[in-house]
Chain A
Amino acid sequence: MEFGIFTIGDVTTDPTDGTTVSENQRIKNTVEIAKKAEEVGLDVFATGQHHNPPFVAPANPPVLLANIAAQTEKLELSTATTLITTTDPVRIAEDYSYAQHLSDGRISLIMGRGNTGPVYPWFGKDIRAGIPLAVENYNLLYRLWREKSLDWEGKFRTPLNGFTVTPTPLDEVPPFVWHGSIRSPEIAEQAAYYGDGFFHNNIFWPTSHTARMVQLYRQRYEYYGHGKASQAIVGLGGQVFMRKNSQDAVREFRPYFDNAPVYGHGPSLEDFSTQTPLTVGSPQQVIERTLSFRDWAGDYQRQLFLIDHAGLPQKTVLEQLDLLGEEVIPVLREEFAKGRPADVPDAPTHESLVIRHREGRDPIPGGGEGSRAFEDRQARAAEAAQNPTQEGADRS
C-alpha cells in the first residue's frame, strides 16, 4: 500500500492574519512540500491540474512533476487529477511519457473531468459532453501508449494517420492510470473496463456514498475478468489536520475550515467531520479514522491526504508532513498489512508493471476469455446469429 499527499495548489488568504502568498511563493512551496514528503518517508506526491485562479496547480502537470523528479530519488509523482476532458490526449501521451523517462518510471496519473465548467470552452470543448469526452479521449490515450503508427478517428479531435507518440513509454509500459470520480458511475465502469485503478477523493462526500462507488468499481472489475473484486486497485483521498493534542488541532484548524473556499461558511467543523472523512485531531485519531476506511472500501492500494490548502501557512504544512511521516504512516503501514489477504495486490509500480507486461498479464480491455464479460459477449453474438435483426435480414 502506498501513502502520499495531494494538492490542488490553491492560493488562499490565511484567514488568521489576512496574508496571501504570491503565486511564485506558492509554486516554490509546492516543490518544497513534495521534497519534504520524500524526506519524511511518504511514497506519493500528487498535483491537480488547473487553468484558473485562485489555483496555481500546473496547467500541464508534467512541468511540475519533472522538476520534482529532478530533486527526489524515490517519490512517485502523480496527478490528482489530469483533465482528460479538455487536454488533448496526444499531448498527455507525449508529455507524461517524457516525464516518465526523466523520472525513471515514477509517474502515474489520476484522470478526472474537472469541476470547473468554464474550462471546457477555453479549450474548445463542450461541457455537456463531459462523459463522452472522458470516454473517447482516454480510449485514444490508451491506444497511443500501446500502438505504433496509429490510425484513429473520433468525434472530438482531428483524425490521426500513422501516428506514433514520441517518446514511447519507458520499457514500453505506460504510466499506471487511475480514474477519479466523485459521483459518476460511468467513470467507475471505465476504470473497471480497462483494468485500471479507481480513485475517489473521499473529501466532500459521506463515506456511505464513496463506498457504493468503490463497490461498483470492484464488482465490474471482476466482471471484466481482471481479478477478483477484492483485487481491484482502489485509491482514496482524505483530509487531515493534526496536533499532538486534539483540542489544539481543532482550535488551530477551525478558522481555516470556516473560511475554506469549498465548504466554508457552511456546515460546522464538527458536523463535517462526522459526515465526511475530514479528521482534525491527534495523530492517533487520524490513524484510527484512516484504518476505518478499510471497513467500507476493502483492502486498498493508495491513500492520499490533502494537507496544504485553505491558506494554511507553509510552516504548518511542513509540520503536518512531519507528523504524517513520524507518527501516522509507519503505524498505518503496519496496521493495514495485518490481515491483508496475500492475493490483494500492492499499489502498482513501474517495476511491477514491467514484470506484468513481460509475463503477458496486462489487463485486456473489456475482458478476455474466461471473464463473464467475454461470455456475455459470446452469448449475445450467438443470439444475434440465431435471430438476425430486421436490419440484419434486410442487409442479407
Chain B
Amino acid sequence: MSTNTMNIVAVTTSLSEDSTTLKLTNRILGQTASAGESVGIDVTTDVINVRNLATALTDMTLTGFRSEALEQAFATIAAADAIVTVAPVYKAAPVGLHTLFWQLVDDRALSRKPVLIASTGGTARHSLAGDAVLRPMLSYLKGIVVPTTVFAATDDWGTVEGGRALTARIRQAGEELVSLTAAIIGAGNDDLAEVADPDSHAGAGANATRGTSSANRGIVDEFDPANVTPFAQLLEG
C-alpha cells in the first residue's frame, strides 16, 4: 500500500570544484538517505549545480526563454518529491546566481514539495540569510519549507563542537524533510507517516495523491486544448 521510494533533488550553487557548499550538499543528501533507510524508504538523490546553468540563467533573464539545459533542470525539479537548496552567502544573502535560479523557475514549481534550506558562509553572522531571503521566495513557489535550516560556517568544519552541532542540525533537518515528504507522498511505514501527520489516517490516506504523479503537481499545461478557457467564457468576462 505504500510506495517506498523518494527522489530528493539538491539545487546547489557550488562555485568551485570542492566547495564547502558541495560538501554540505552531499552530507545533507547522505543524511536524508539514511533517514529514509531507517524507515524503509529508498531515497534517490540528484544534484543540480547552478554554476553549470549560470549563462543559461542570465540569457533567460534577458530573452525570456530557457535553454535546453535549463528546461531539463526545471523538469527535474518538477519531478522531484523533495528539494534541498544549498548556496554560499554573500553580503548577508544567498549568492545572486542561486536566488536567480529560484526567481526563474515556474510559479508553483514547488507545489506540495518539502524544501530544506541550507547555506554556507565565512562566519556565523550570515546564519539567518537563508531564512530571511529564501524562505519567502520558496513559499511564493508553494514549497513547504521544513522548520530547521542548516547553516555551516568555517567554524563548523574546523572545531569539534562546531562539527557536532552541524551534524545534529543536518540530522534534524534531514529527518524533518524525509518524514514530511513521506507523509505527503504516502511512502514508508505507517509509523513514520503518523509521526509526520497524525491525521493522515483520517481520510483515504495520503496514498491517493501519489497516483497523480509528482511530476506535474500544481502545474497546469495551458497549451493543452483540454485546459484552454473556452472563448465564450472569455467573452462573458
Residues of A bordering B, CB below 8 Å: 131-132, 135-136, 139, 155, 185-186, 188-190, 192-193, 204-206, 209, 212-213, 215-216, 219-220, 223, 262-263, 265-267, 271-272, 275-276, 366
Chain B residues whose CB sits within 8 angstroms of the CB of A275 once the complex forms: 65, 67-68
Tell whether, in the assembled complex, residue B63 and residue A189 are in contact, meaning their CB atoms are under 8 Å apart.
no
Tell whether, in the assembled complex, residue A220 and residue B63 are in contact, meaning their CB atoms are under 8 Å apart.
no
Chain B: CB-nearest residue to A265: B62
Chain B residues whose CB sits within 8 angstroms of the CB of A266 once the complex forms: 58-59, 61-63
Chain B residues whose CB sits within 8 angstroms of the CB of A188 once the complex forms: 228
**Interchain residue pairs with CB less than 8 A apart (20):** A135-B231, A135-B237, A185-B229, A189-B228, A189-B229, A189-B231, A190-B234, A204-B64, A206-B66, A209-B65, A212-B223, A216-B228, A220-B228, A223-B225, A265-B62, A266-B61, A267-B59, A267-B62, A272-B63, A366-B232
Chain A residues whose CB sits within 8 angstroms of the CB of B62 once the complex forms: 263, 265-267
Scan residues 53-104 of chain B and give those whose CB is less than 8 A from a CB of chain A.
Answer: 55, 58-59, 61-68
Tell whether, in the assembled complex, residue A185 and residue B228 are in contact, meaning their CB atoms are under 8 Å apart.
yes
Chain A residues whose CB sits within 8 angstroms of the CB of B68 once the complex forms: 275
Chain A residues whose CB sits within 8 angstroms of the CB of B160 once the complex forms: none
Tell whether, in the assembled complex, residue A206 and residue B65 are in contact, meaning their CB atoms are under 8 Å apart.
yes
Chain A residues whose CB sits within 8 angstroms of the CB of B225 once the complex forms: 216, 219-220, 223
B59, B67, B223: the one within 8 Å of A216 (CB): B223
Chain A: CB-nearest residue to B59: A267
Tell whether, in the assembled complex, residue A267 and residue B63 are in contact, meaning their CB atoms are under 8 Å apart.
yes
Chain B: CB-nearest residue to A185: B222
**With A185-B222, A267-B59 as contacts: A205 and B237 at CB distance below 8 Å:** no
Tell whether, in the assembled complex, residue A189 and residue B230 are in contact, meaning their CB atoms are under 8 Å apart.
yes
Q: Encode contact with A along B193-237: 1 for CB under 8 Å, 0 otherwise.
A: 000000000000000000000000000001111001111101101
Chain A residues whose CB sits within 8 angstroms of the CB of B230 once the complex forms: 189
Tell whether, in the assembled complex, residue B222 and residue A189 are in contact, meaning their CB atoms are under 8 Å apart.
no
**With A132-B237, A366-B232 as contacts: A213 and B223 at CB distance below 8 Å:** yes
Scan residues 3-20 of chain B and give those whose CB is less than 8 A from a CB of chain A.
Answer: none
Tell whether, in the assembled complex, residue B63 and residue A263 are in contact, meaning their CB atoms are under 8 Å apart.
yes
Chain B residues whose CB sits within 8 angstroms of the CB of A216 once the complex forms: 223-225, 228
Chain A residues whose CB sits within 8 angstroms of the CB of B65 once the complex forms: 204-206, 209, 275-276
SS of A interface (majority)? helix
User: Could you tell me the distance between the alpha carbons of A41 and B229 in the complex, rounded to whole angstroms?
Assistant: 41
User: Could you tell me the distance between the alpha carbons of A275 and B67 in the complex, rounded to whole angstroms?
Assistant: 7
Q: How far is the CB of B98 from chain A (nearest CB, A)?
A: 20
Tell whether, in the assembled complex, residue B235 and residue A139 are in contact, meaning their CB atoms are under 8 Å apart.
yes
User: Could you tell me the distance between the alpha carbons of A213 and B231 in the complex, rounded to whole angstroms?
Assistant: 16
Chain B: CB-nearest residue to A214: B223
Tell whether, in the assembled complex, residue B63 and residue A204 are in contact, meaning their CB atoms are under 8 Å apart.
yes
User: Could you tell me the distance between the alpha carbons of A219 and B227 in the complex, rounded to whole angstroms?
Assistant: 12
**With A216-B228, A263-B63 as contacts: A185 and B234 at CB distance below 8 Å:** no
Scan residues 32-66 of chain B and give those whose CB is less than 8 A from a CB of chain A.
Answer: 55, 58-59, 61-66
User: Could you tell me the distance between the alpha carbons of A220 and B68 in the complex, rounded to whole angstroms?
Assistant: 28
Chain B: CB-nearest residue to A155: B237
Q: How far is the CB of A190 from chain B (nearest CB, A)?
A: 6
Chain B residues whose CB sits within 8 angstroms of the CB of A139 once the complex forms: 235
B58, B61, B66, B229: the one within 8 Å of A186 (CB): B229
Q: How far is the CB of A193 from chain B (nearest CB, A)?
A: 4
User: Could you tell me the distance between the alpha carbons of A113 and B229 in the complex, rounded to whole angstroms?
Assistant: 18
Chain A residues whose CB sits within 8 angstroms of the CB of B64 once the complex forms: 204-205
Chain A: CB-nearest residue to B63: A263
Chain B: CB-nearest residue to A134: B234
Q: Given contacts A132-B234, A272-B63, could you give 15 more A-B pairs where the C-beta distance is less than 8 Å?
A: A155-B237, A189-B228, A189-B229, A189-B231, A193-B231, A204-B64, A212-B223, A213-B223, A216-B225, A223-B225, A266-B61, A266-B63, A267-B62, A271-B59, A276-B65
Tell whether, in the assembled complex, residue A135 and residue B222 are in contact, meaning their CB atoms are under 8 Å apart.
no
User: Could you tell me the distance between the alpha carbons of A205 and B223 in the complex, rounded to whole angstroms?
Assistant: 15
Chain B: CB-nearest residue to A191: B231
Chain B residues whose CB sits within 8 angstroms of the CB of A212 once the complex forms: 223
Closest 8 CB pairs of A and B: A266-B62, A193-B231, A267-B59, A212-B223, A219-B225, A135-B234, A185-B222, A205-B65
Chain A: CB-nearest residue to B230: A189
**With A212-B223, A219-B225 as contacts: A271 and B231 at CB distance below 8 Å:** no
Chain A: CB-nearest residue to B231: A193
User: Could you tell me the distance between the alpha carbons of A220 and B235 in the complex, rounded to whole angstroms?
Assistant: 16
Chain B residues whose CB sits within 8 angstroms of the CB of A220 once the complex forms: 225, 228
Chain B residues whose CB sits within 8 angstroms of the CB of A185 once the complex forms: 222-223, 228-229
Chain B residues whose CB sits within 8 angstroms of the CB of A276 once the complex forms: 65
